[in-house]
Amino acid sequence: MDIITVENLQKAFKGRAVLKDITFSVKKGEVFGFLGPNGAGKTTTMRCMLGLLRPDAGEALVFGENMAVSDRLRGRIGVLLEKDGLSDRLTACENLDYYARLYGVSGRDERVREILEFVGLTERKDSLVGTFSTGMRRKLGIGRAILHNPEALFLDEPSAGLDPEAQRMVRDLIADLSREEEMTVVVNSHNLDEVQRVCSTVAILHDGRIRAFDTVERLRSGGGAEVRIVLSDRSSAERALAVLSAATGVAAVSREGEEVSARLDGADVPTLVRAMAEAGCAIEEVRKDHRSLEEIYLSVVRQAEGSA
């Protein structure tokens, strides 16, 4: 079931087209990563989805409705934008309590305690938010966004400016929300490693258009996985090279000493390993690699720049 549908979205600021034609959808329970260079239009798209900005054409629907006109949807979504809505002059606990009242959360005290625990801030619950590090503040911001148990969560650059440990905590929080709460999560991000680790689906935005949109798994295995085989000796490697060259579904083969590499185009690894073993190759190690999301992102963006 699609929770979010964005269709042919267009938006210009002062006559400059920022979103030229944006179409994608997000299914229930997915963690969707929205990627793109600075200024590509990620935040603008998110603001259109949230009903904070009116598109010039096209539509962005959440739970089948336009958020700009359907206020009752607010309780079903959680949002953490660049401005996190937390007050420096209140403690972590008081901030959450304020929002719990605003959302009419039942069992307020218990829920605030639960959220503080979930984001790992129980020990700092009585500290003023103004004294928090960027990472602690971000965690509390995520806690604030999920306080009312939303079905869908929108995060704009959740790990920007965080050190690696805090980035990891944010990543783990997102993964937990998806796994344990089956929350649908939309993440705008520049952090390709984070997206590769937590997102199930991604869209790559460049110059106001979607240049790639697929599951992370399919994107990474598209364009051919590569298999590397280490043989025990050189004659085995030469034999393996001959077997792989003759096999169907192998796009390219090369050898370097005792190591043979093959780019796959339909062939599966167990069949190739069996064929090499039958030809008497002494195999030490077999490793299959997929392209990283970073490689895919860079090639998509470069291709888009080349065609612009």
Ligand X SMILES: Nc1ncnc2c1ncn2[C@@H]1O[C@H](COP(=O)(O)OP(=O)(O)OP(=O)(O)O)[C@@H](O)[C@H]1O
| Interaction site with ligand X (CB under 6 A) | 13, 18, 36, 38-44
CB of 82 to ligand X, least distance (A): 8
CB of 41 or CB of 224, closer to ligand X? 41
Q: Are strands 259-264 and 226-231 parallel, antiparallel or unpaired?
A: antiparallel
**Residue 171 in tokens:** 């990543």
CB of 185 to ligand X, least distance (A): 17
CB of 38 or CB of 248, closer to ligand X? 38
CB of 4 to ligand X, least distance (A): 17
CB of 6 to ligand X, least distance (A): 14
CB of 278 to ligand X, least distance (A): 53
Provide the H-helix boundaries in 206-249: 216-221, 234-246
Under 8 Å between Cβ of 27 and 62:
no
Dist. CA 273–CA 142, nearest whole Å? 47
Structure letter (DSSP) for residue 48: H
CA Rg, the chain, in Å? Answer: 24
CB of 151 or CB of 157, closer to ligand X? 157
CB of 11 or CB of 255, closer to ligand X? 11
**Residue 145 in tokens:** 């966004």
Dist. CA 67–CA 50, nearest whole Å? 6
CB of 41 or CB of 141, closer to ligand X? 41
Amino acid at 20: K
Secondary structure of residue 70 in the 3-state scheme: coil
**Residue 279 in tokens:** 């030809």
CB of 9 or CB of 86, closer to ligand X? 9
**Residue 191 in tokens:** 């952090």
Closest C-alpha to 304, from 220, 205, 192: 205
Longest alpha-carbon distance in the chain: 74
CB of 203 to ligand X, least distance (A): 12
**Residue 55 in tokens:** 């598109």
CB of 99 to ligand X, least distance (A): 25
CB of 43 or CB of 201, closer to ligand X? 43
